[in-house]
Amino acid sequence: MARFKYNKAAKPLESTVETGIGTSALDLKTIAKAIPCQEACPAKTNVPAYIEAIARGEDDKAYRINQEDNIFPGVLGRICTRVCEDACRHKWTNVEGPVQICHLKRYAADNIKEKQSAMPPWFGPTGKKIMVIGAGPAGLSAARDLSRMGHQVTVVEKAPAPGGMLVDGIPAFRLPRDIVSAEIALIEQGGVEIRTDVHVTQTMVDDYCNAYDAVLLAAGTTVTNSIAIPGAEDRQISGLDFMRGYNRGEVTAVRGNVVVVGGGFTAVDCARAARRVGEKDALVSIAYRRTEASMAADKNEFQAMAEEEIAIRTLLSPLRFELNDRGAGTLVLQRNLVADGTLGVKAKIVPLEGSEVRIPCDTLIVAIGQKRDESLLPFGVDSEEDGKTSKPGLFVSGDFKGGSADVISAVASGKNVARLMDEYLMGKRRLMRGVKYEVTDCDGETGRYRDHDIQFPLPMPMAPVAQRFENNAEVETGFTQLIAQNAAARCYLCHYKFEIDQDKCIHCNWCIEASPRDCIKKAARIFYDADGFPTKVFEAERNQDATYIYIDNDECIRCGKCLRVCPTEAIRMRKLEAGDCVKCDD
C-alpha cells in the first residue's frame, strides 16, 4: 500500500473534451449556461463572438459570424425582438441594462468593408431537388442551409419580390429595402433559385411533392383576422393589406383621422406609416385592449411614436363606428380592464359596462393578427409535429407552422427544418450541434477590464422628426464606430470560460484577492446532475472548508486577472464556440 496517496474530492468537469468538439449533453448544458444570449436566441447566433469582433474593429468578421446562423444580420439588426438581450448577463449584474446586441448586429452589417460572398457549402452536391414555397425569412433560411448541404433548391414566391413579411409587412423606414435585397442576393449567390409571381395552390403543392425529393411549405400567415365593428363593416382595412399597399407604393394617402386597432408589430407599423402618408394635422391613434407593456413595440419605437405624435390609447375595445352628417367619423370604444392573470396564462379582458370613449376616426385600420392559408395544405395531412408532416417529403416551417411570430423565430424555424429535411433525404443526421473548445494562450488577455462593465451605454441615434417623412427615410440611423465599440466593450465575452484545474490549485486565494468582484468563490461542495453538469455550489467561508476554489462564470467579467496572478498556472481560459459541426463518421 503506497503511502501519502490522499483521497481527494473529484475534479469538477464541465466538458467532455479538453480541446476539440464535444457533443454530449454535458457540453450542451455547459454552453447553454455559459452563453445565455446565444442560448436565448431562437437561431442560436454566436453573439459574443461577433460582438468581440466589433469591439476589435473587425466588422466584416462580425457580419460573417452572424451569417453562419442567421441569413439576415442586416435585417434582424433592425427589427429583431431581441430575446437575447433579455437573457444578457448585464440584466442581473448591472443596472445599465443589457448589451445592445441588436444594434451591434446592425452596425456590423452596415459597415462591411469588403464585398461579401455566399457562405461556403458544408457538403458536396447530393443530386436531391427541393422546392420551398414562400420566400420569407423561414423559407429563405431553410433554402440557404439546404443549399449549403449540397441540395438543389428552388423557392417560389407569390409576391413580385422575395422577402415575405420583410418587404410586405415591415415599412421601409424601419427596414430599408436595399438591406433586404442585398442579403437575399447572397442567398441566391449560394445557388438558390428564387421564382417570384408564382401563385401556389393546393394542387401545385401536390405536384411539387411528386416532382421534388422534398417540399417545404413556408407560406407564412396571409389571412387576416377581423372583428365585427357595427357601422364599419365595409370601412375597415386590415393592417396587413394596408402595409402591403403602403410598402408597394399603392397607398399614398389616407383620409382624415386614423385609428389603428391592435397592439402588435403590424399595428405600430400601420400607425407610423399612416402618419407618413396621412393628412397634416390629422390624429393618428392606436387603440389597444391591453396595456403598453403588452405591446410588441420596443423602447425606441415608443419614443419614435411619441415624437411622431401618435396617440397610444390602451385598455379600450371597439364598440361601434359612427358617421355624422358632415361625413366625419368616430370610433366608439369601451373601456376595459385586464384581469389579474395567472402566470403563463394570458389575462382575461374585463369590459367596463357603460363606459364609452370616442376617438375621431376617418380611416379605421384593424391589425389584430393573421393566420395561415389552410387551403395550401394537401388533403390528408393530419400531423405537423416539429415541421415534419404526415405526408412523406412535405415539411412546414415559419409562421405557416406555428402561427405569426417574429422574424428571428421564422429564421430559426427555417434553419431547424433544413436539418430535418436533410436527415430525411440522406437517411442520417449529417450536421450535429456541438461545442468547440479551444485552449487560449493569450494570458487571459481579452482586453476587458472592470471599467467596461460600469460605463453608460449610449442610445441608438434617431433621425430628426422633420427628416423622417421625406423619402420614407430610416428613422434609426445606426451606431457610429465609437458608440458601437463602446457598446461592444460592455459585453462580458461569455464565450471565454475561465477554469481552475483543481489538481494544480494550491488554494493560495490570490485569484480571489485579484478578482474585480465576487466572481471566484471557495466551494465546499459541488452537486452535479446525471450528465455531470454542476447544478449547485455550496460556498465555504473558511479556507479549511474550501474543497475547491471555483470561478463563477455568471459573475466573471473576463478581465483575466485571476489567470495572470495564478502562481501555479492552474487557471486557463478556453474559448467556447457552439454551432453545427460536420459529423465525423460521415
What is the binding site for other proteins (CB under 8 A)? 1-9, 52, 55-56, 443, 445, 447-449, 451-452, 455, 458, 482-483, 485-486, 488-489, 502, 505-510, 513, 524-525, 540, 543-548, 564-569
Comparison of 349 and 538: residue with beta carbon closer to other proteins: 538
The minimum distance between CB 16 and other proteins, in angstroms, equals 22
In angstroms, the CA 361 to CA 306 distance is: 19
What are the residues whose beta carbons fall under 8 Å from the beta carbon of 7, sequence distance 6 or more? none
Quickly tell me which residue has 466588422 as its cell: 59
The minimum distance between CB 455 and other proteins, in angstroms, equals 6
Comparison of 533 and 548: residue with beta carbon closer to other proteins: 548
Under a CB-based contact definition with an 8 Å cutoff, are residues 254 and 363 in contact?
yes
Comparison of 167 and 540: residue with beta carbon closer to other proteins: 540
Query: 132 burial class (0-12, 13-18, 19+ CB within 10 angstroms)?
Result: buried
The minimum distance between CB 486 and other proteins, in angstroms, equals 4
The minimum distance between CB 460 and other proteins, in angstroms, equals 15
Comparison of 525 and 583: residue with beta carbon closer to other proteins: 525
The minimum distance between CB 93 and other proteins, in angstroms, equals 17
Comparison of 51 and 267: residue with beta carbon closer to other proteins: 51
- CA nearest neighbour of 456 among 90, 102, 109: 90
The minimum distance between CB 423 and other proteins, in angstroms, equals 40
Comparison of 426 and 508: residue with beta carbon closer to other proteins: 508
- CA nearest neighbour of 376 among 216, 243, 155: 216
C-alpha cell at 436: 468547440
Comparison of 173 and 479: residue with beta carbon closer to other proteins: 479
Comparison of 465 and 506: residue with beta carbon closer to other proteins: 506
- CA nearest neighbour of 396 among 271, 215, 518: 215
In angstroms, the CA 156 to CA 143 distance is: 11
The minimum distance between CB 4 and other proteins, in angstroms, equals 6
Quickly tell me which residue has 452536391 as its cell: 125
What is the phi/psi pair of residue 579, to 5°? 175, -170
Query: Order of strands, edge to edge, in the sheet holding 534-539?
Result: 534-539, 520-528, 548-551
Angstrom distances, CA of residue 331 to CA of 258, 313, 317: 10, 12, 10
The minimum distance between CB 485 and other proteins, in angstroms, equals 4
In angstroms, the CA 221 to CA 389 distance is: 18
